[in-house]
């Protein structure tokens, strides 16, 4: 028995690829990558999923009449694929409190800083690394956390560090944080939570 996982994506899918490789190496015994759901039909992450034999779906916020319609479209896919856990891997669409509250301790996100630094509303992508460089920090990193109604406000699962080096640009720093921290921590956290869900009969239930 395995926890059925949906990975939500919007772009290139490098964190998805880290999960795919982690699973292929036999390191995800408690979880199954059962669905990759994209907010954009042109997301390259969908190609990565198809090449790995993972079912895919697209639910576009732009083409949805409202946030409620968008989220009901997502919920429909989660029901169809019997999903038990969600991993946000570069998913750029906002999810409402009414959505996230349905999945207590079952939605994971990776944020490219050491929360509580450089996080919250508006802090995503290169913006995080630009701020880190502007402040002159010497150590940065990434955080995998549960998702709740507060942007980047959920319980921390894992954190990892990466150095800030002389001559770093936001792009260089972003790449280092991804390679040294995000691509390692997110798969590790995914297995931990998938195992916790299987092991604990009292684990918070999903509301699908």
DSSP state string for the chain? --EEEEEEESS--HHHHHHHHHHHTT--TTEEEEEEEESSTT-HHHHHHHHTT--EEE--STTSSSHHHHHHHHHHHHHHTT--EEEESS--S---HHHHTTSTT-EEEEESS-TTTT-STT--THHHHHHHHHHT-SEEEEEEEE--SSTT-SPEEEEEEEE--TT--HHHHHHHHIIIIIHHHHHHHHHHHHHHHHH-TTSPPP--
CA distance 63 to 145: 29
pLDDT in tens, 135-146: 999 999 999 999
Active site annotation includes 111: yes
The answer as to CATH 3.40.50.170 being correct for domain 3-199 is yes
Q: Check pLDDT > 90 for residue 21.
A: yes
Please report, for the chain, the start and end positions of each structural domain, with discontinuous segments joined by +: 3-199
Query: Which member of 4, 40, 111, 145 is catalytic?
Result: 111
CA distance 9 to 200: 28
pLDDT in tens, 122-170: 898 999 999 999 999 999 999 999 999 898 999 999 999 999 999 999 9
Contact 115/152 with Cβ under 8 angstroms?
yes
DSSP lists the bridge partners of residue 57 as: 37
Cα separations in angstroms, 188 against 22, 28, 165: 8, 8, 26
Instruction: Identify the residue with better confidence: 35 or 92.
Output: 35
pLDDT in tens, 65-79: 999 999 999 999 999
Q: Where does the pLDDT of residue 62 fall: very low under 50, low under 70, confident under 90, or very high at 90 and above?
A: confident
How high is the mean pLDDT of the chain?
Answer: 96
């Amino acid at each position: 028995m395995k926890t059925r996982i949906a990975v939500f994506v919007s772009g290139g899918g490098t964190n998805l690829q880290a999960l795919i490789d982690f699973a292929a190496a036999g390191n995800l015994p408690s979880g199954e990558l059962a669905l990759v759901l994209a907010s954009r039909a042109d997301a390259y992450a969908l190609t990565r999923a198809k090449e790995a034999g993972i079912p895919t779906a697209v639910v576009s916020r732009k083409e949805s009449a409202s946030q409620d319609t968008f989220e009901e479209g997502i919920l429909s896919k989660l029901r169809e694929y019997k999903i038990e856990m969600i991993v946000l891997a570069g998913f750029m669409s906002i999810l409402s409190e009414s959505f996230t509250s349905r999945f207590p301790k079952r939605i994971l996100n990776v944020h490219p800083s050491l929360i509580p630094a450089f996080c919250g509303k508006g802090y995503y992508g290169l913006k995080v690394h630009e701020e880190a460089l502007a402040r002159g920090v010497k150590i940065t990193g990434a955080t995998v956390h549960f998702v709740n109604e507060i942007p980047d406000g959920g319980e921390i699962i894992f954190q990892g560090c990466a150095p800030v080096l002389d001559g770093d640009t936001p792009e260089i720093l972003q790449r280092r944080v991804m390679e040294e921290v995000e691509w390692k921590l997110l798969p590790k956290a995914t297995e931990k939570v998938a195992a916790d869900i299987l092991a604990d009969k009292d684990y918070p239930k999903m509301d699908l």
